[in-house]
Chains A and B, each alone.
Chain A
Amino acid sequence: MRKTGEGERADRIWKGGIGVMVMLLFMFFAAAVWLFWGGTDGNAQEVFPKLAILTLLSGAGNLGVLCGVYFAVAKEVNSTLEKLSDLAEDLTSAGNGKEREAFCPQEDTALSKLQGQLLKLYDMMRCYEVREQEMRRQLDENIGNLVHQINTPITNIGLYGGFLKREDLTREEREKFTCYIEAQAKKLSWLGEGFSKISRMETGIIRQRPERQDLLPVILEAVNQVMEKAVQKGMNIELTGEKHTFAMVDGKWTAEAIFNVLDNGVKYGNEGSSMEIQVTELTGYVCVAVRNYGIKIEKDEYHKVFKRFYRGKEAGKSEGVGLGLTIAREVLEGEKGYMKAETLWDGRTEFAMYFSKT
């Protein structure tokens, strides 16, 4: 069904009004002519009063029509403005994606053009809104990630600081803990440096600079960081498979990623169990698989464990906020690698990290 354009309707009323007025004028002239030359014998005294009445009638008629047209047009204009304001109100109160066309969009009238422009403006604004929401979400993500990154070294410093208070420490142990604290402080300062860069990143949380390097030192650095915690839980860490493998990775972030996976394994692993880190060289990737016995991951949880703030069904009791694995995955994907979680046939939980060689 075709909507009649508001402009068109007002136009029609206006034209109709003029038509009626012209008709009235024509009838007046016809009557005047008839009065002069027609039915009477040219008796002026009879003609003039009649002519006067005719003139008055015609004038009143025209005036009436004019008033009628005026009010009709005014009403039409008002209702059009009403519709326009309704349209604008719909758009402003929208957010629920409700869009309405008050005027026929296919019509080539000023109103439908205005409507088109309004809708276009609205679309643009909505685009900005979506983009802004996305940016806000990313900012939120960045802050979450950074807080987490800062938390880990601070927790470690607290832990080693606690060890240092013990009086039964040997000189070597004391030195070792001091070194750890130093390393963690370095990590913090590096994070501080990185903060300004990260906050400027619009997409992605981390932008790494992958270089071809030996993975072993990177793995050992991560192992080093998690060792104390593992020892506390009576766990031992076993490195198997190939020793020196080269991949394109960013050392710092990769150590962070591996640490997060190891830390996760320690947190959710069984006390006194053994954790295996197996390094396997594939054609295009180096696979670093971390396996241990602990809380099992169900099949439908495989992809969820990497989601931001996701805590496993049985992870409730352990510390952590559910960001470590998300960061690890982001790091690997930033290096053209990937990672996955799986429960193995022997019941061990495996996190496999694939680092790209090219």
Chain B
Amino acid sequence: MEILAVRNLKKYYGSGESLIKAVDGISFSVEKGSFTAIVGTSGSGKTTLLNLIGGLDYADEGEVMIGGKSVLKMNDDERTVFRRRNIGFVFQNYNLISTLNIYKNITLPIRLDGNKPDGEYIRHICKTLGIEEKMESYPNQLSGGQQQRVAIARAIAAKPAVLLADEPTGNLDSRTGAEVMGLLKMTEKEFNQTIIMITHNEAIAQLADDIIHLEDGKLV
């Protein structure tokens, strides 16, 4: 079953001489429960593409359908709710809230939606990520690697329809990166989690079921 469809997506920056075609007519689709890697060098438009899929940016043209709903056609309020319920994000720069402890950071999206967090599931995630003893700590007390693991735990905790990961292991050492990739793969298998990950690293991309190569805003 198709969970995500991108059709002729376009996003240009600037104009005239300085026109940058960040995303230039991209179309592809993703099956439910699959793990897709979007591979490209820096500047190939992969982050812009991921932001458009996640409804974090406005497209110039084209369509993004998640679970049969057009993300780009929603108004801002609808999109916020839709994003919270259906999309999990993992950014390269963590984006944790510094005034909340780790447990509250991880459960924030769930609580925002008025739901009770699944304690056992969250403990399981945190254990696998090696942050179960950091629940009471605050983000600035953790190393970069640990912060990123918290961010991943937060994205997975809400059991989103699609997990969008932007270089999830970009700031981690290879050991921690391996753990994180293992966890991503495990969530794909165990919870039928659809994952879209962008990376420049072919060694990491090989863990995905499908690999999409991006160059100058176009699929190659």
Contacts and interface: CB of A to CB of B under 8 A. Distances in A.
Interface of A: 280, 282-285, 287, 299-300, 302-303, 306, 333, 336-338, 340-342, 352, 354, 356, 358
Given A284-B183, A303-B202, 11 more contacts: A284-B182, A285-B178, A302-B206, A303-B208, A333-B185, A336-B189, A340-B204, A340-B206, A341-B203, A354-B182, A356-B182
Given A283-B130, A333-B189, A358-B128, A303 B182 contact: no
Contacts of A337: 182
Given A283-B130, A283-B179, A285-B178, A336 B205 contact: no
A284 B179 contact: yes
A116 B206 CA distance: 44
A340 B182 CA distance: 11
B206 A285 contact: no
A356 B129 CA distance: 12
B179 A338 contact: no
Contacts, number: 56
Nearest to A339: B207
A61 to B, nearest CB: 60
Contact of A299 (B178, B183, B202): B202
A282 B211 contact: no
A300 B206 CA distance: 9
B207 A336 contact: no
A340 B207 contact: yes
A283 B206 CA distance: 22
B202 A300 contact: yes
A333 to B, nearest CB: 7
Contacts of B204: 340
A285 B179 CA distance: 7
Contacts of A287: 178
Which size class do B's interface residues fall under?
20 to 34
B131 to A, nearest CB: 9
A338 B181 contact: yes
B142 interface: no
A122 to B, nearest CB: 20
A358 B126 CA distance: 13
B186 interface: yes
Given A287-B178, A299-B202, A333-B189, A338 B128 contact: no
B153 to A, nearest CB: 13
6 contacts: A285-B178, A303-B206, A336-B186, A336-B189, A337-B182, A340-B206
A140 B204 CA distance: 30
B189 to A, nearest CB: 7
A165 B157 CA distance: 63
A133 to B, nearest CB: 16
Contacts of A336: 186, 189-190
Contacts of B185: 333, 338
A303 B178 contact: no
A341 B206 contact: yes
Contacts of A333: 185, 189
B116 interface: no
A342 B204 CA distance: 9
A338 B185 CA distance: 8
A259 to B, nearest CB: 22
B31 to A, nearest CB: 13
Could you say which of B178, B189, B211 has the most chain A C-beta atoms within 10 Å of its C-beta? B178
B111 interface: no
A358 B127 contact: yes
A342 B207 CA distance: 12
Nearest to A285: B182
